[in-house]
């Protein structure tokens, strides 16, 4: 790409040097700069890319894009370095990056239909369902989310464990999808991504709002700010918004959105709602009222919270112009989502479930569904992340105790905090209840899982909550391999050997 060509749609404030220069690639991390690259210095929440311009030039960047005040000699760390790169000052570095990346990759998004899903809980399952429904209509569908990216040439793990990648990475993924003949892209859109403008410049054909419950308040501070971040997605919709109107924040969003809205819910009978629902450990059977007629749904997913996810996906199918048959077939074809009510079954006579539920609301919905379906007692293993929203810790502890015969409080990515301190804050939610709930404190997560499986009896359900698909544990500055599913299988295998 020629830099001058890429800058045609950008609001530049000044250029030092000739913009008629070839760009090998665009980079936003100075550590990855090589000779011939363009470095875009993005302002971030923790640090500003301006601080790394000197490093980018020393590594061979031929051009620098930055915003803010004019660069001084100190910013470039040496006058000699200042002469080696074209310096482009712009009004908005994020917006400029979108235009540059779009030009570099040939504007791949123009050939794609985008569906964005946001909300506290249910994003991953909903995107998997939507992808399955679109595939049933013989569309070639890409997926971007917490668990995996699927560009049509094989699914792979998100490289940084995040939900929504940045502007440059998104354009890279879109380009890869277009090469594979992708027509539709379904993506999770997190509140962090919206607040940090990672989806800037994109227009979504459809946007979905699942729900809003307490989470990420270490970042957003208040529920109102959290909602405002989520709401930004719906200003980027060219088609229709699909909104959960049973959720009070969803109803508020529906009243604020200026475009077309399709509401779904169980209690509020708007455009999409179930006329009848039968739920068991085998799955969900329901008849759903929609603007295109009733759809008979059979899903292997379980629990009322998945009824909402199914309704959201059906809504996207309807607004995407799919037939009732394709929608029903797509739902039936989607067997499970990794780490979402994932069963670990070695024929043990009791149910073991690993689930990502890591908020009060998600845990309550999960345990309420399990309690209504389980033949015996519920045993729950749960923890809370360190260096994250502390306000939800006692609430998580309380929810676990309300729905479980035995709660085992343990660690879950403690990061820089002592696990015992986090657990003590969770424990505060259990104290003072009458009668006093039965719980144990086992900071070692492996020991906690082994203990839960060891005390389970026939007909019981063991719920291991919080990590789901995650295959790591963050302790201090170390990231160690840890997978709840692997640990549960190992515990069950040893249990069989012992009981022989």
Give the C-alpha distances (Å, rounded to integers) separating 420 from 156, 217, 412, 415: 35, 22, 11, 12
Q: What percent of the chain has pLDDT over 70?
A: 97
**Confidence band (pLDDT; 50, 70, 90) for 158?**
confident
Give the C-alpha distances (Å, rounded to integers) separating 439 from 204, 359, 424, 427: 46, 19, 12, 9
**Confidence band (pLDDT; 50, 70, 90) for 163?**
confident
Q: Do domains 106-333 and 342-499 have the same CATH topology?
A: no
**What was the pLDDT predicted at 220?**
74
CA distance 172 to 142: 13
**What was the pLDDT predicted at 44?**
83
pLDDT tens column, 443-486:
999 999 999 999 999 999 999 999 999 999 999 999 999 999 99
Residues 11 and 90: beta-carbon distance below 8 Å = yes
CA 241, 329, 372, 483 dihedral sign is negative
Strand 406-409 to 439-441 pairing: parallel
Give me the mean pLDDT over the 236-252 stretch. Answer: 97
Give me the mean pLDDT over the 429-439 stretch. Answer: 89
Q: Which residues pair with 208 in a beta bridge?
A: 117, 242
- Domain ranges for the chain: 3-103, 106-333, 342-499
CA distance 500 to 113: 55
Q: Put residue 68 in one of left, alpha, beta given phi > 0 → left and psi -120 to 50 → alpha.
A: left
Residue 228 has pLDDT above 90, yes or no: yes
**What was the pLDDT predicted at 382?**
98
Residue 314 has pLDDT above 70, yes or no: yes
pLDDT tens column, 256-304:
998 999 999 999 999 999 999 999 888 999 999 999 999 999 999 998 8
The structural architecture, per CATH, of the domain 106-333 is: 3-Layer(aba) Sandwich (3.40)
Q: What kind and span of H or E run contains 431?
A: none
**Confidence band (pLDDT; 50, 70, 90) for 375?**
confident
**CATH class of the region 3-103:** alpha beta
Q: Which fold has domain 342-499?
A: 3.90.190
Residues 266 and 308: beta-carbon distance below 8 Å = yes
Mean pLDDT of the chain: 93
Longest dimension (CA), the chain: 78
pLDDT tens column, 66-114:
999 998 766 676 444 445 799 999 999 999 999 999 999 999 999 999 9
């Amino acid at each position: 790409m020629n830099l001058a060509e890429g800058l045609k749609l950008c609001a530049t404030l000044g250029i030092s040097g000739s913009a008629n220069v070839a760009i090998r690639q665009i980079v936003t991390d100075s550590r990855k700069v090589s000779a011939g690259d363009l470095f875009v210095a993005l302002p971030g929440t923790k640090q500003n890319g301006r601080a790394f311009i000197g490093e980018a030039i020393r590594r061979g960047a031929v051009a620098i894009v930055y915003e803010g005040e004019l660069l001084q000699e100190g910013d470039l760390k040496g006058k000699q370095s200042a002469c080696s790169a074209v310096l482009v000052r712009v009004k908005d570095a994020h917006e400029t990056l979108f235009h540059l990346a779009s030009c570099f990759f040939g504007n791949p998004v123009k050939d794609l239909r985008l569906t964005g899903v946001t909300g506290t809980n249910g994003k991953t399952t909903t995107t998997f369902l939507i992808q399955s429904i679109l595939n049933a209509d013989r569309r070639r569908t890409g997926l971007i989310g917490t668990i995996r990216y699927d560009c049509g040439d094989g699914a792979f793990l998100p490289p940084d464990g995040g939900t929504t990648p940045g502007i440059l990475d998104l354009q890279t993924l879109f380009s890869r999808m277009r090469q594979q003949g992708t027509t539709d892209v379904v993506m999770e859109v997190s509140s962090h991504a919206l607040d940090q403008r990672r989806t800037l410049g994109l227009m979504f054909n459809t946007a979905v709002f699942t729900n809003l419950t307490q989470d990420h308040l270490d970042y957003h501070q208040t529920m109102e700010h959290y909602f405002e971040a989520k709401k930004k997605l719906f200003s980027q919709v060219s088609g229709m918004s699909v909104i959960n109107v049973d959720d009070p924040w969803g109803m508020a969003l529906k009243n604020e959105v200026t475009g077309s809205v399709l509401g779904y819910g169980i209690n509020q009978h708007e455009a999409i709602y179930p006329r009848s629902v039968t739920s068991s450990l085998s799955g969900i059977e329901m008849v759903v009222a929609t603007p295109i007629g009733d759809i008979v749904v059979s899903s292997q997913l379980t629990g009322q919270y998945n009824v909402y996810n199914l309704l959201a996906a059906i809504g996207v199918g309807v607004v995407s112009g799919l037939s009732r048959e394709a929608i029903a077939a797509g739902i039936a074809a989607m067997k499970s989502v990794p780490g979402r009510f994932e069963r670990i079954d070695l024929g043990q006579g009791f149910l073991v479930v690993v689930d990502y539920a890591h908020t009060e609301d998600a845990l309550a919905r999960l345990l309420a569904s399990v309690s209504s379906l389980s033949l015996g007692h519920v045993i729950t293993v749960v923890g809370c992340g360190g260096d994250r929203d502390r306000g939800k810790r006692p609430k998580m502890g309380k929810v676990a105790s309300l729905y479980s015969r035995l709660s085992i409080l343990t660690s879950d990515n403690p990061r820089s905090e002592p696990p015992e301190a986090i657990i003590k804050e969770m424990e505060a939610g259990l104290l003072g209840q009458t009668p006093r709930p039965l719980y144990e404190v086992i900071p070692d997560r492996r020991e906690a899982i082994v203990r839960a499986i060891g005390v389970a009896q026939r007909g019981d359900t063991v719920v291991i909550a919080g990590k789901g698909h995650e295959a790591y544990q963050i302790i201090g500055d170390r990231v160690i391999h840890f997978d709840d599913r692997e640990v549960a299988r190992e515990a069950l295998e040893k249990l069989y050997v012992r009981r022989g």
